[in-house]
């Protein structure tokens, strides 16, 4: 039976992944549906791992599938979250020998080229680059040997079998050379490879001797059989402990004895030296095949959407860069189109070419009128304008309510700090809320700029509303409103008219191409998550700017060139149109009526273009406000979460301080002679903490009862009581802890940045209505937000604040 080298499975033991991974999820991701989804994924991963370890693994692909799913998920999770999983060395225990193990020939190459680059620490010896390279050669040689065995079993031609065996001998020789200096491999590997090299070479000589016999080269036959016998003799003497060659040796010796007998008595052919024999050919039927992840065909990434905070922040900034790039390209094309329309409207084109009769509506004007009516006319624009203030008000209310929660909690914190002084030893709310207030100020600035943009759009509408209303009228009323002029039918069919029409057609084609190009630019999608994760795994940090700019240049560089080419083409055509129009105007009859008619037609064409632009701006403005509402609601939830956590912390600290004060001894008051009194304090000190007044029980007659305590006496805490003071019946006060007890509340410098939602292409993102893209730069290294409140406690929601528990203030 053939002996094959196998790589044992990595040993493992029962490990609870749920607790540490759930803690990581809770600490690094905000509460809500997303966190619950990730925790469910953690539980599913734990079940998958237990299934892989708990069930017996038979020699079937279903068992292999379970291992592949588990290992692939753990590998991807370590890449996504930069987590470190501990692996044991597969060569620590056990033997390498066993039955035939079905392994992909490219598995170790995949580990060497892909897996090792993703590890963020030194690999174990069994998957070090040198080891996996050697194992890859071993598997390649064994795969070639399998083909040799199959060819032998199928009784294929000896010439083919000899070539297969000779190639396998070469592969085993290469693997042997690689293993000579690998001390981490078990000691059995090297002798087995040496034996296999000799065995495969002996098989090649055996089958090549049969081929020589058929060709009546009897001397060559004997020479090859003698060489084969020497090879198996070497294996038997040196490696018999690992590999048995008795059957092969007997077969070779029988063939050699028969060949010598025939040659000695019959053929008398000269037996050549081994070095003079013709080399046996080779036939390689195996090669290392590349593995395309995921290796498991049934694999589904449980943590596909989960990435480290550093990647989230990089993705947020990258999305901002991408939106700015798209807005710049789209805005440039729209500005060029508006410029083109403005130039043509000022020249009364193409209406001037269609108005050669002077008494009917030009075709282009009629088409523009129908287009406005189909889009809803004045009514649709006025409704959009009417809706904007409501959307603005809703966003302002959410922002105001969010900041009011912070203001109220900060005011309460300041009051208690003034009351308890040093005992109120938690982080001031004013310091903790600085990042949130900066974020709120950014939102306020964005809303103010949006209001200005709304006003600009409204003023433009007021400028053109009369002409837009005229285009919405029936055709007969529109025709009546346009002044008539003397006909210029003599220009029909002239060369200048044909040239102008051709140039206008080319301009229309440029604008249509621009619309198609805009759609292509908006449709470009690519995910930078993998690039950021790889950078984080390899370097421990993310150079977001370099990676983002490189990807954006690669994705949009070609589009930028096409945009610039479109602008140059438009500039050339407009120059030609203006030249042709001057010639056309010189041929037209100029009079007052014609000038009035041309002026009205210009205004109508300009009104149509303005209507289209205003409608687009208003729709984009509506989308802008709706998207901003979602972001502001997330901001409100952040404010609500931290205010609730601060309130819980505040109540716990108040409770502790009240108990601590109650345990302090009461200082009795006594009369002080006037000459001993010191009305002026010698040094200014901190205001003492409030004290709770307790009524003193009557003392025995031998001691006078203490007089009534005045507020001033109650507020004075003597350092040492007088000698005649009664012993304190209460224990001394306990030093308060440095952090109030309660639900876990992080002390950190700021909040993590919210995930920027793309704002689309709003009217504030390009042209003269430019408004900066709303962004938020999170502070690196920030922690997560406090999680949901414990079971049984109310969770604050919008618009109500968490219920305010009335704290107990001791009477002074």
Q: How many other CB atoms sit within 10 Å of the CB of residue 174?
A: 17
Q: Average per-residue pLDDT in the chain?
A: 74
Same domain, 107 and 213: yes
Q: Is 320 part of any domain? A: yes
Q: Are 442 and 776 in contact (CB under 8 A)?
A: yes
Residues 282 and 162 in one domain: yes
C-alpha span between 164 and 505 (Å, rounded):
71
- What is the rounded CA–CA span in Å between residue 612 and residue 24? 51
Q: Which two tokens stand for residue 742?
A: 């309660």
pLDDT digits 0-9 by tens, 414-428: 999 998 888 888 889
CB 248 within 8 A of CB 199: yes
Contacts of 201 (CB under 8 A, 6+ apart): 165, 166, 169, 228, 231
Domain boundary among 587, 609, 635: 587
Q: Taking the chain, what is the end-to-end CA distance rounded to the nearest angstrom?
A: 97
Same domain membership, residue 328 and residue 206: no
Query: What per-residue confidence (pLDDT) applies to 292?
Result: 62
Residue 546: domain span: 311-347+489-587
Tell me, yes or no, whether 170 and 216 share the same domain.
yes
- Residues 276 and 149 both lie in one domain: yes
Instruction: Answer yes or no: is pLDDT of 404 > 80.
Output: yes
Write the pLDDT tens digit of every residue in 278-306.
999 999 999 877 766 555 666 676 666 66
Alpha helices in 663-750 (DSSP H): 711-714
DSSP 749-777: S-PPPP-PPP--S-TTSSGGG--PPP---
**pTM, 2 dp:** 0.41
In a domain? residue 131: yes
Number of domains forming the structure of the chain: 2
Among the three residues 288, 303, 324, which one is the final residue of a domain in this structure? 288
Among 92-106, 267-281, 432-446, 538-552, where is mean pLDDT lowest? Answer: 92-106
Could you tell me if residue 243 is left (phi over 0), alpha (psi between -120 and 50 degrees) or otherwise beta?
beta
Query: What secondary structure does DSSP assign to 679-701, as a single string?
Result: -S-SS--PPPPP----PPPPPPT
Final residue in a domain of this structure, among 253, 288, 323:
288
Same domain assignment for residues 318 and 179:
no
DSSP designation for 137: H
Beta partners for residue 4, in sequence order: 98
What confidence tens digit (pLDDT) does each residue in 589-621 have?
Answer: 555 667 777 788 888 888 888 888 899 889 988
Q: Are 551 and 526 in contact (CB under 8 A)?
A: yes
| 10 confidence band (pLDDT: 50, 70, 90) | low
Stretch 431-444: mean pLDDT, rounded? 89
Residue 758 lies in a domain: no
pLDDT digit string, tens, across residues 358-400? 667 788 888 888 888 888 888 888 888 888 899 999 999 999 9
Q: Is 121 helix (H, G, I), strand (E, B) or coil?
A: coil
Structure tokens at 116: 């090792």
> For the segment 129-179, what is each residue's pLDDT rounded down to a tens digit?
667 778 888 889 999 999 999 999 999 999 999 999 999 999 999 989 888
Q: Position of tokens 């440095």?
A: 738
| Cα–Cα dist 311/314, whole Å | 5
**Measured in whole angstroms, how far is the alpha carbon of residue 615 from the centre of its chain?**
35
Distance CA 286, CA 149 (A): 14
Task: For residues 510-535, give the mean pLDDT.
Answer: 87
342 and 207 fall within a common domain: no
Q: What is the DSSP letter of 767?
A: G
Domain membership flag for residue 127: yes
Q: Is 95 left (phi over 0), alpha (psi -120 to 50) or beta?
A: beta
Residue 71 lies in a domain: no
25 neighbors 38 (Cβ within 8 angstroms):
yes
What is the SS3 string spanning 596-652? HHHHHHHHHHHHHHHHHHHHHHHHHHHHHHHHHHHHHHHHHHHHHHHHHHHHHHHHH
Q: Are residues 327 and 254 in the same domain?
A: no
Distance between CA atoms of 568 and 562, rounded to whole angstroms? 10
DSSP code of 244? -
Q: Which long-range contacts (CB under 8 A, 24 or more apart) does 213-216 make?
A: 213/259
pLDDT of residue 193: 92
Cα separation, 222 vs 269, in Å, equals: 10
**Domain identity same for 223 and 118:** yes
Banded model confidence at residue 56, pLDDT cuts 50, 70, 90: low
- Residue 606, Cβ neighbours under 10 Å: how many? 18
Whether 715 maps to a domain, the answer reads no
Question: What CATH number corresponds to the domain at position 531?
Answer: 1.20.120.560
Q: Are residues 185 and 317 in the same domain?
A: no
Could you tell me which residue, 588 or 716, shows the higher pLDDT? 588
Query: In sequence order, what DSSP letters do the residues of 529-577 get, joined into one string?
Result: HHHHHHHHHHHSS--HHHHHHHHHHHHHHHHHHHHHHHHHHHHHHHHHH
In eight-state DSSP terms, residue 184 is: T
Alpha helices in 182-245 (DSSP H): 189-214, 218-238
Structural domain contains residue 339: yes
Taking the CA atoms of 568, 570, 571 and 573 in sequence, report the sign of the dihedral they define: positive
How high is the pLDDT of residue 701?
A: 47
Tell whether 338 and 199 lie within a shared domain.
Answer: no
Q: Which of 20-29, 118-127, 325-334, 786-795 has the lowest mean pLDDT?
A: 786-795
Q: What is the pLDDT of residue 485?
A: 66
Q: Which of 17-31, 77-91, 337-351, 410-424 has the lowest mean pLDDT?
A: 77-91
Instruction: Name the residue among 457, 467, 465 with its Cα closest to residue 369.
Output: 467
| pLDDT average, residue stretch 487-515 | 79
Query: Are residue 191 and residue 330 in the same domain, yes or no?
Result: no
Is residue 565 assigned to a domain? yes
CATH assignment of the domain containing 257: 1.25.40.280
Q: What band does 225 get if pLDDT is binned at 50, 70 and 90?
A: very high
Per DSSP, the three-state class of 785 is: coil
Write phi, then psi, for 175 (nearest 5 degrees).
-65, -40
Backbone angles phi, psi at 181, to 5 degrees: -115, 20
């Amino acid at each position: 039976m053939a002996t094959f080298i196998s790589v044992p499975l990595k040993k493992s033991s029962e490990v609870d992944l749920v607790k540490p991974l759930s803690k990581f999820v809770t600490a690094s991701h905000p509460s809500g549906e997303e966190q619950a989804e990730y925790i469910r994924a953690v539980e599913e991963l734990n079940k998958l791992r237990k299934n892989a370890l708990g069930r017996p693994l038979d020699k079937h692909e279903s068992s292999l599938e379970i291992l592949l799913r588990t290992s692939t998920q753990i590998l991807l999770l370590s890449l996504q979250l930069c987590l470190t999983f501990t692996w044991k060395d597969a060569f620590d225990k056990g033997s390498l020998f066993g039955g035939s193990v079905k392994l992909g020939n490219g598995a170790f190459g995949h580990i060497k080229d892909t897996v090792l680059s993703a590890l963020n620490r030194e690999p174990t010896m069994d998957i070090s680059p040198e080891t996996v390279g050697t194992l890859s050669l071993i598997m390649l040689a064994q795969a070639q040997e399998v083909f040799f065995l199959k060819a032998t079993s199928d009784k294929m031609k000896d010439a083919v079998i000899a070539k297969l065996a000779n190639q396998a001998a070469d592969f085993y020789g290469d693997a042997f050379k690689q293993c000579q200096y690998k001390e981490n491999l078990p000691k059995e590997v090297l002798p087995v490879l040496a034996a296999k090299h000799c065995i495969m070479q002996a098989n090649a000589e055996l089958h090549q001797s049969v081929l020589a016999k058929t060709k009546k080269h009897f001397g060559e036959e004997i020479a090859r059989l003698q060489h084969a016998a020497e090879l198996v003799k070497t294996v038997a003497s040196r490696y018999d402990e690992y590999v048995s060659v008795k059957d092969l040796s007997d077969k070779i010796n029988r063939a050699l004895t028969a060949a010598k007998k025939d040659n000695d008595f019959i053929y008398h052919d000269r037996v050549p030296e081994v070095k003079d024999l013709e080399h046996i050919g080779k036939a390689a039927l195996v090669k290392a095949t590349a593995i395309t992840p995921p290796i498991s065909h049934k694999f589904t990434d449980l943590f596909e959407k989960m990435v480290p905070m550093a990647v989230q922040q990089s993705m947020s900034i990258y999305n901002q860069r991408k939106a700015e790039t798209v807005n710049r390209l789209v805005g440039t094309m729209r500005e060029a189109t508006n410029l083109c329309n403005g130039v043509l409207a000022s020249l009364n084109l193409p209406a001037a070419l269609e108005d050669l009769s002077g008494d009917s509506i030009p075709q282009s004007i009629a088409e523009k009128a129908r287009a406005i009516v189909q889009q809803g006319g004045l009514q649709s624009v006025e409704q959009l304008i009417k809706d904007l203030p409501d959307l603005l008000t809703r966003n302002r209310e959410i922002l105001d309510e969010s900041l009011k929660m912070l203001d109220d909690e900060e005011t309460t914190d300041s009051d208690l700090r003034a009351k308890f002084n040093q005992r109120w030893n938690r982080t001031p709310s004013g310091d903790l809320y600085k990042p949130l207030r900066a974020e709120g100020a950014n939102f306020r600035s964005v809303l103010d700029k949006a209001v200005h943009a709304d006003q600009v759009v409204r003023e433009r509408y007021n400028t053109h509303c009369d002409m837009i209303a005229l285009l919405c009228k029936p055709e007969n009323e529109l025709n009546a409103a346009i002044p008539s002029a003397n006909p210029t039918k003599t220009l029909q069919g002239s060369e200048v008219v044909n040239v102008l029409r051709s140039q206008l057609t080319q301009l229309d084609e440029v604008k249509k191409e621009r619309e198609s190009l805009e759609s292509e630019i908006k449709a470009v999608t690519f995910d930078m998550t993998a690039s950021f994760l790889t950078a984080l795994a390899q370097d421990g940090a993310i150079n977001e700017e370099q990676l983002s700019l490189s990807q954006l240049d690669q994705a949009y560089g070609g589009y930028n060139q096409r945009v610039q080419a479109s602008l140059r083409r438009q500039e050339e055509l407009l120059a030609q149109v203006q030249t042709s129009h001057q010639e056309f105007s010189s041929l037209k009859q100029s009079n007052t009526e014609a000038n009035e008619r041309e002026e009205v037609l210009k205004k109508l064409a300009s009104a149509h273009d303005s209507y289209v632009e205003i409608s687009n701006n208003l729709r984009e403005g509506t989308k802008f406000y709706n998207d901003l509402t979602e972001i502001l609601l997330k901001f409100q939830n952040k404010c609500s979460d931290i205010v609730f956590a601060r309130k819980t912390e505040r109540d716990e600290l108040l409770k502790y301080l009240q108990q601590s004060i109650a345990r302090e001894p009461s200082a009795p008051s006594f009369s002080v002679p006037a000459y001993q009194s010191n009305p002026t304090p010698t040094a200014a000190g901190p205001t003492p903490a409030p004290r709770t007044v307790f009524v003193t029980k009557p003392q025995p007659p031998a001691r006078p009862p203490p007089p009534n305590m005045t507020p001033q006496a109650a507020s004075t805490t003597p350092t040492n009581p007088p000698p005649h003071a009664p012993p304190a019946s209460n224990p001394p006060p306990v030093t308060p802890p440095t952090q109030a007890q309660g639900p876990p509340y992080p002390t950190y410098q700021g909040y993590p940045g919210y995930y920027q939602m793309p704002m689309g292409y709003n009217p504030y993102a390009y042209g003269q209505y430019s408004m900066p893209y709303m962004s938020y730069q999170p502070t690196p290294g920030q922690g997560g937000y406090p999680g949901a409140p414990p079971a049984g406690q109310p969770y604050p929601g919008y618009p109500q604040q968490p219920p305010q528990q009335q704290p107990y203030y001791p009477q002074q």
